[in-house]
A = this chain, B = another copy of it.
Amino acid sequence: MRTIEIMCLNTGYPCNCLTTGNPCEPCRMTAKDRETEEDHLSNNINSTGQVGATQSEPNLTLASSAVVRERGRSWGGLLSGIISLNILILGCALVSASAFNNSIIGSAELQIFLIILILLTTIWMLYYAIYMSVKDQAVTYKDGHAGPIWLRGGLVLFGLLSLIMDIFKIASYVGYLHCDSAVKVAFPVIQAVFILVQTYFLWIHAKDCAQLQRNITRCGLMLTLGTNLVIWMTLVTEESLHQTTIPEYPNKTKIYGRAAFNLRASYGDDKCKCSHSSCSMFKDAYYYLYPFNIEYSLFASAMAYVMWKNVGRKADEHHHHSVKFRVKDVFLGPIAGILLVIAGLATFIVYEVEVLKDDDDDDRLDRALMMHFVMNVVIVTLMSVSTMVGCVIHRLDQREYVSEKNPTRNLDVGLLIGASMGQFIISYFSIVATAAAGGKGYLNGLNLAWGVLTVIQLGLQNFFIIEGLHREPFHEEHPITVFTNPYVLEASRELSSLEGSDMDTKPSPVLTTHTLSHRPKLTWKRRVLKEVCAFLLLANIILWIMPAFGARPQFDHDVEIKFYKFSVWAAVVNIGLPFGIFYRMHSVASLFEVFVTS
């Protein structure tokens, strides 16, 4: 029998209730003892994921485990949160310093800080990966909702593009080695290694609900989160500054990474010349890849945060709903959606080609912009209408609301709303600017319409997705076989009560046949819901593709630039747009879930 030393609360005298059964006054477990208990619990998780019965009293184990969980969460969670907060704010101060003060704190000092953070994070991730592979029972619980394939796939895609960016950066900065700090070359090298390690780590471990070394894991994950967010801040600031270094922005368009490239001389070209000839080419190239690295940091942050929330969580394996993804149930939605995607892609390609042409034909550019705006207005209008239909169906719908708590779903909803803020901000800033300009000119009018419709669409879509996620999935009701034999009826009734279904206790043959004849066909409501989801899903994909692959009408149309100063507008777009892109991808995943469950 295991000896648990228990200290009496008031007197401080030890009393061994469990071991000796000696009379002792009311006492509770000590904090120290609970810690031992926690380790003990953790070590006793056997391969089936059940907490092994320890040698101590089972009642005691059960009673204390709740306390242990709460305690671990409060202590480790707190410490890791404070660490992450400090990293973030220090990072924020350093980024601001390097942005607003060119003399003392330059980008080199900031990069040294980032290198330290990255090294610490990489070491921890390697340690975690090795520790988990050595202790093969270490992770018994997996959260099936965490790290879905779209998130991991996006991570790998953006990770690859970030790696290419780092290679271009190295190639470019090597040319400056003779007259500038070596940190500028070291940083991309270390960042490339970090991206490799982190992508591997998150790909493998995104679903983990870590049970061992919970406090260390929490701190490690918060370090990862902090590092990624500081990198994100740095990238956003660099991108904005890079765009603002153009001394006079041209009167018309072509500011964002296009014809304006030749104007830029941000990297100390005045005193330090590049030693090889392809410098400027590499520089041009890597600035194109910045948005992908920004997106990569956001994805990694989201995944680290989800892992942090899951530490110590005893989640049951994701029970896949029995409902399957059947495309043949729906027809109109996917067809309309695919047509929209094709039309969107076509106009997007034409728009990009026109904008990237080097000549300064303003009329041609205005036509391209108009086409892009019209396309976007059409997409957003169709989406708003179909979402409204979906919301009405939800109101008419008879499905139950999910009553149990689900942290992953709450997190999903939080990320959805949080990410939508990015697009909201851009749209509202755009609305104010175009409305103040009086909506004069067809481009302004279209821009205003686009902004207003986007706000409406975002609101409706958030509402629709969140309502959908909170509904119980449609269960395929198994028809009850009814016999005239009363004993069998009894047994079937027992079975149904065992399953916990709220079926009527007196199934009658008449109604059973009724059920059977109607089962395979969808009701019109389910059908409409599925059509709406399929359409919205595809529409979100095209709205994702356009900004992700370079469409920046925000900079090609100059109302907002003139209204706010350029730097303000660049900051708004550079902060908002990556969140907007993330939002579209997240929406696609959530809509897929709503599609499957409705």
Contact = CB atoms under 8 A, between A and B. Distances in A.
Contacts of A506: 23
Given A26-B502, A104-B437, 19 more contacts: A10-B518, A23-B504, A23-B507, A23-B508, A23-B510, A24-B508, A26-B503, A27-B504, A78-B467, A81-B417, A82-B463, A86-B428, A89-B424, A90-B428, A96-B564, A97-B564, A100-B564, A100-B568, A104-B436
A92 B396 contact: no
A494 interface: no
A94 B518 CA distance: 55
Nearest to A427: B89
Q: Which range holds the interface residue count of chain A?
A: 35 or more
A432 interface: yes
Nearest to A395: B31
Contact of A92 (B17, B79, B105, B428): B428
A141 B257 CA distance: 59
B74 A400 contact: no
A462 B429 contact: no
A255 B531 CA distance: 63
A44 interface: no
A554 interface: no
B518 A93 contact: no
Interface in A132-153: none
Given A27-B504, A428-B93, A466-B78, A10 B515 contact: yes
Interface string A10-52: 1110000100000111111111000000000000000000000
Interface in A111-135: none
A78 to B, nearest CB: 6
Nearest to A98: B432
Closest 10 CB pairs of A and B: A23-B508, A26-B503, A25-B511, A93-B428, A104-B436, A93-B432, A71-B401, A93-B429, A30-B398, A89-B428
Interface of A: 7, 9-12, 17, 23-31, 63, 66-67, 70-71, 74-75, 78-79, 81-82, 85-86, 89-90, 92-94, 96-97, 100-101, 104-105, 395-403, 417, 421, 424-425, 428-429, 431-433, 436-437, 455, 459, 462-463, 466-467, 470, 477, 501-504, 506-508, 510-512, 514-515, 518-519, 523, 563-565, 568, 572
Contact of A89 (B97, B425, B466, B504): B425
Given A93-B429, A424-B86, A563-B104, A477 B26 contact: yes
Contacts of A397: 31
Contacts of A400: 28, 67
A508 B15 CA distance: 13
B31 A398 contact: yes
A92 B26 contact: no
Contacts of A79: 463
A400 to B, nearest CB: 6
Contacts of A514: 11, 25
Nearest to A525: B12
Contact of A470 (B74, B398, B462, B564): B74
Nearest to A460: B82
Contacts of A508: 23-25
A455 B86 contact: yes
Contacts of A504: 17, 23-27
A89 B579 CA distance: 15
A10 B101 contact: no
B24 A511 contact: yes
A111 to B, nearest CB: 15
Contacts of A30: 398
Contacts of A24: 504, 508, 511
Residue with the highest number of chain B CB atoms closer than 10 Å, among A71, A402, A417, A511: A511
Contacts of A462: 78, 82
Contact of A432 (B81, B105, B518): B105
A564 B25 contact: no
Contacts of A70: 401-403, 470
Nearest to A25: B511
A515 B75 CA distance: 31
A11 B522 CA distance: 10
